[in-house]
Structure 1
Amino acid sequence: MIRHLNPVSMPAPVAPLYAQISIAPAGALAFIAGQVAIDADGRLVGKDDHRLQAEQCFRNLRDAVDALGVGTEHVVRMGLHVVRHSNELVGSIFEAGHAVFGQGWPVCASLFLGVEALGHSDWLVEIDAIVSLPPDFDRLACC
């Protein structure tokens, strides 16, 4: 359903965690809002800890994809926004994602962006996504 391309005329991805281009068939898209490190009980997870916050963000993202009744292979774009980004954080952020997704990591077109601040001073990581829904999609798995 979703095709990922890495044209030879473009640089190869620096890691197998993304593709240069994701192609989704025409149809419905779901836009998952930026997920921060707030758990289902409304508590912040991992104050002052990028890795713990990233893990909760990925859990929230996984739960949103699950609620759509599709798998992570339907994620066509993911944006990661990290406060006080440094090269040292990259590994721990992706380790957090692998802790949540395992082999189901959503390979897709992606963005990893260092930012000055997010919507609240305690938030260190925010992750949003776009999901391509199958043609027969007609209702949410959760509702």
Structure 2
Amino acid sequence: MTQSTHLTHIPAPDGIAPATGYSHVVTATGRLVAVSGQIALDQYGNLVGPGDAAAQALQVFANLHRCLTAAGATFDDVIKLTFFVTDVAHLPAVRKARDQYVDVENPPASSAVQVAALFRPDLLLEVEALAVLRADA
């Protein structure tokens, strides 16, 4: 168990196999920040990286970073990420982009879901985030 100022990471509760790249449980006290699923569109609404999961993942995490910043949060405040991918083969690219932003020693809780499609056929992934800011932030 690792605790920061307002988050506690429990990588593997008793009886649960350890995970790679995420914590099974993260508890927090403070103000909740919910970030809608982000996709690989730039500030003008143009798709970044058509057909390229790595390029799309980098744009998605850059967008998540911008959204968190707008709420006064950082990736250190993220308690949960949910990945929606059109093919689980895209997960290594998503993880590589994620690892540029999250503390890999204390990663957030995470879920990954393969979906039949996203709202546009050229999108390969979408990622949403939940963060908690310290109550005094």
TM-score, with length taken from structure 2: 0.86
CA-CA distance at 1:18 after TM superposition: 0.9
What are the Cα deviations for residues 73-123 of structure 1, in whole angstroms up to 9, with x where unaligned? Answer: 21011001111223xx33222112234x2x645711111111110111111
What are the Cα deviations for residues 28-82 of structure 1, in whole angstroms up to 9, with x where unaligned? Answer: 2111000000011211000111111111111101111122222212101100111
Q: Between Structure 1 and Structure 2, which shows a larger proportion of strand residues?
A: 2
Which runs of 5 or more residues in structure 2 are unaligned? 1-5
Q: Give the SS at the match of 2:37.
A: strand
How large is the Cα RMSD of the aligned pairs? 1.7
Percent identity at matched positions?
28
Which runs of 5 or more residues in structure 1 are unaligned? 138-143
Provide the C-alpha distance between the structure 2 equivalents of 1:61 and 1:23, rounded to a whole number of angstroms: 21
Residues 85, 91 of structure 2: 8 Å contact kept: no
Residue aligning to 2:22? 18
2:24 is matched by which residue type in structure 1? Q
1:8 is matched by which residue type in structure 2? D
Number of residue equivalences: 130
Q: Give the SS at the match of 2:47.
A: coil
Q: Give the SS at the match of 1:120.
A: coil
Provide the C-alpha distance between the structure 2 equivalents of 1:70 and 1:33, rounded to a whole number of angstroms: 14
Residue aligning to 2:114? 114
Output aligned runs, 1:13-52, within 5 Å.
13=19, 15=20, 17-25=21-29, 27-52=30-55
Residue aligning to 1:63? 66
TM-score, with length taken from structure 1: 0.83
1:3 pairs with 2:8: yes
Displaced runs of 4 or more, over 3 A = 103-106
Residues 85, 115 of structure 1: 8 Å contact kept: no
Provide the C-alpha distance between the structure 1 equivalents of 2:135 and 2:118, rounded to a whole number of angstroms: 35
